[in-house]
Structure 1
Amino acid sequence: MRQVVRLESTVLATEAGLVLVDEELKPVLAKPYGAEPFNKYRLLLVGEPNPTLEEFLREAATLGVSGFRAVEDGVRAAVEALGYKCTLVDEDVAARLKEQKLNLIVTSGLVDSPAKAEELVREAAIYLAEAKIREASAKPDLQVIQSIQALDEVDKAVNLFNARLKEWYGLHFPELSDILSEPEQYIDFILNVGHRDRVKEVASELKLAEKKVKAIVEASEKSKGAEIREEDLSRVRMLAKEVKDLYALRKSLQRHIETTMSKIAPNLTAIAGATIGARLIAKAGGLEKLAMLPASTIQVLGAEKALFRALRTGAPPPKHGIIFQHKLVHSAPPWQRGKVARSLAAKIALAARVDAYRGEREESIDSQLEKRIEEIKAKYPKAPKPSKQKGAKYGAKRRGRK
């Protein structure tokens, strides 16, 4: 099959190996990948050269090839990385080569039958799909998404079990929930004290303020709660232990999110905070996807229901979504809140892009946000006077539509 060629020839990376085709799209030279063929094929498609390609190009040069062309941009980059000039073929030529790929695999001698070529292409497609899944699953921002979703689910479970625990133990000592408003203190009391009759015995061991201890002792003596059997109390304690473990899990997840976010998105973490930043990444579907969103979309992420309701009914649109949890937004006066949310969303968009594409800490984003917030506070110190037209602007738009 070898012949001397003088014109530019095209390097075609196939699932079975490399094929050099001439101007008439006929195979001139072919070389199988050898060991790990599908992995070498995958790396070539993303621009990573290998020894097989280097030997192939050297052999092609001995045939008189003066220049190379490629169908895929990754193959072009790999050829150029080895010191050879390479350009991309025209779209119509690329389409013809892709149509004839199976035939070229057979006629070049890489396999001996069309059936084997089809089987090889099928196996390679499965391998490439699995490799893409592995790469996508290894992205650290996906770990953040799972962590923040787990944190939210743990919060729901903690709230649910806390309510059940207070209701159950409240049958025996209902006054305690008014004295110990902190859930973790309430849980520790159940685990360490249990029966209200033991309060006086262990009062000195309780790690609480003196006023609270005194209030608990007095409440236990005058409690209107019912007596509780030991077997019931043991079940209450078991539930309290589970809730305590959930609190420990929550703290562990929170630390993990903060650590991971500070590594993969330092600027977003500095601007929005680790938890809000992680929720924004989860809502967008990844850090790169968040970086591609405009600031106006980031501003209302998490408020989709309100946004669609506004579009459907003509009601005022939401001014903020997830970012309302940020202290700059929720602590701002109502008349400043929309402007603060807009400014914060703009800096979050900028921070996400720097994190996604540069990965370096850019402290100027923080100072720009602070400066803008100060400008808003100075420019709008007082609430504007209510406008009659403002209320009429909404609602009439789609009134009457069902």
Structure 2
Amino acid sequence: MTTDDDAAGRAPGDAAGAEAAAWFAVGDDESPADRVRDGTAAAPADWPALAVESGAATDEEDYYEQLREATVEATRAAVDERERADDRQLLHAVRAMDDAERVANELAERVSEWAGTLFEDAGTGVDGCVALAERDPEGPAEERVVSLATRVADLAAEADELEAFIESRAPVAAPNLAALAGPVLAARLISLAGGLEPLAKKPSGTLQVLGAEDALFAHLRGHGSSPKHGVIYTHEYVRGTRPEDRGSASRALAGKLTIAARIDHYSGDYRPELEAELDERMQTIRARAEDDDGGADDE
């Protein structure tokens, strides 16, 4: 909607038409904040004067005080709505999953070291902690070790449940991205970019190296080669391609993922042809290995 800065110094013009579109001319089912967020005006006007003339404000100072309250409320509502969006929930879920896995693995090392002094058959890692959590402790030391192992088992279980949540929600928040990348990688890309909208606005070259920022900065400082891929390395189409073709595979995958993210953000409709196009491109890239092998056999 037209701002007061735009309208400053302008004639009121058609007061009736302007007042009908003004943020302070609200209906029974609207609040000033709703009109600030969603309202429009066909033309600028002297809104403070119109507000005073209509009785919506006692004077210009009162008008601006009401406007401030309405804009703050509208902004707060917009932020709350954005934070509850599906892509933000994925962002928090994948970060929480990674944190739970990291802490579980770190604590598992401590438990394994401690448990080795008390139990001859103590296992290692998270699986060892899951087994320890089922023991009946004897004495204070064993009680503490079993208690800590139980915490590790709970964190590992929580990480699994978070992964299940991601797998169920990613296809809803980003159907094309989830179909091409897989739910967890899709959520991880959204997390690294800071949301689906920022991801959709990034060029494919940037998406390609998301997660490899340290290597990229080292390259920019002249301390290493340019990274070919970031977190998308975990995708089968990159990880399962021979090293000399991974650059091509990464570019092809990043290009399609960028298109998928843009479709998800701007339209939200599922496009199965993206998967077919990516599959065809990867078959072409991987065929190089077969051609090279065939040439070597011919020799």
Q: State the TM-score, normalized to the length of structure 1.
A: 0.64
1:131 equivalent to 2:77? Answer yes
The residue that corresponds to 1:115 in the other structure is: 61
Cα distance, 1:330 vs structure 2: 1.9
State how far apart, in whole Å, the 2-side matches of 1:372 and 1:315 are.
29
Q: Which runs of 5+ in 1 are unaligned?
A: 1-10, 15-22, 46-73, 77-88, 196-228, 384-402
Q: Which has the larger radius of gyration?
A: 1
Q: Does 1:25 align with 2:12?
A: yes
Provide the secondary structure at the position in 2 that maps to 1:166. Answer: helix
Cα shift readout 1:167-194 (whole Å, capped 9, x = no counterpart): 00111346644xxx6632x234323456
In structure 1, C-alpha distance between the alignment counterparts of 2:27 and 2:280, rounded to whole Å: 61
Task: Work out which of the residue numbers 158, 172, 175 in structure 2 matches 1:266.
Answer: 175
What runs of 5+ residues in structure 2 fail to find an aligned partner? 5-9, 294-299
Normalized per residue, the structure richer in strand is: 1
User: What displacement does 1:26 show?
Assistant: 4.0
Deviation of 1:307 after TM superposition, in Å, equals 1.2
From the superposition, tell whether residues 350 and 13 of structure 1 become closer, same or farther in structure 2 (CA, over 3 Å): closer
Distance 2:250 2:151 in 1: 39
Q: Residue 350 of structure 1 corresponds to which residue in structure 2? A: 259
Tell me the residue number matched to 2:131: 189
User: Counterpart of 1:365 in structure 2: which amino acid?
Assistant: L
One-letter identity of the residue aligned with 2:48 = L
Distance 1:187 1:114 in 2: 68
2:157 aligned with 1:164: no
Contact 1:165 1:240 in 2 (8 A): yes
- Which digits, 9 at most, give the CA deviation of each residue in 1:174-228, with x for residues without a partner? 6644xxx6632x2343234568xxxxxxxxxxxxxxxxxxxxxxxxxxxxxxxxx
Query: Whole-Å Cα distance in 2 between the matches of residues 295 and 37 of structure 1?
Result: 42
Distance 1:364 1:28 in 2: 53
2:184 to 271, 275, 278: 275
RMSD of aligned Cα (Å): 2.7
* Mapped partners of 2:120, 2:246: distance in 1: 41
Higher RCO (C-alpha under 8 Å, 6+ residues apart): 2
Name the count of aligned residue pairs: 281
Cα drift, residue 126 of structure 1 = 1.4
Of residues 36, 46, 49, the one that matches 1:42 is 36
| Conserved? CA contact 1:148–1:278, under 8 Å | yes
Distance 1:130 1:151, change over 3 A: same
Shift of 1:343: 0.8
Counterpart CA distance in 1 for 2:186 and 2:13 is 54
Distance 1:314 1:343 in 2: 27
Offset of residue 165 of structure 1: 0.8
Q: Do 2:126 and 2:153's aligned partners in 1 also have CA atoms closer than 8 Å?
A: no
1:253 corresponds, among 146, 149, 162, to 162
- Quote how far apart the aligned CAs of 1:329 are: 1.3
- SS of residue in 1 equivalent to 2:15: strand
Please report how far the alpha carbon of residue 371 of structure 1 lies from its aligned counterpart in structure 2 after TM superposition. 1.2
Distance 2:237 2:77 in 1: 43
Q: What SS does the corresponding residue of 1:369 show, helix, strand or coil? A: helix
2:297 corresponds to: none
Query: What do residues 249-292 of structure 1 show as CA deviations (whole Å, max 9, x unaligned)?
Result: 11111111111102111221121111111010011111122112
Q: Distance in 2 between matches of 1:154 and 1:192?
A: 20
Residue 69 of structure 2 aligns with an amino acid whose one-letter code is E
> Whose helix fraction is larger, Structure 1's or Structure 2's?
2
Distance 1:344 1:235, change over 3 A: same
Structure 1 residue 37, shift from structure 2 partner = 3.4
CA contact (8 A) 1:13 1:41 kept: no
**Is the contact made by 2:216 and 2:226 (CA closer than 8 Å) also made in structure 1?**
yes
Identity of aligned residues (%): 31
Which residues in structure 2 correspond to 1:288-367 (within 5 Å)?
A: 288-313=197-222, 315-367=224-276
* Secondary structure, counterpart of 1:313 in structure 2: coil
Aligned-pair distance for 1:13? 9.1
Q: TM-score, normalised by structure 2?
A: 0.84
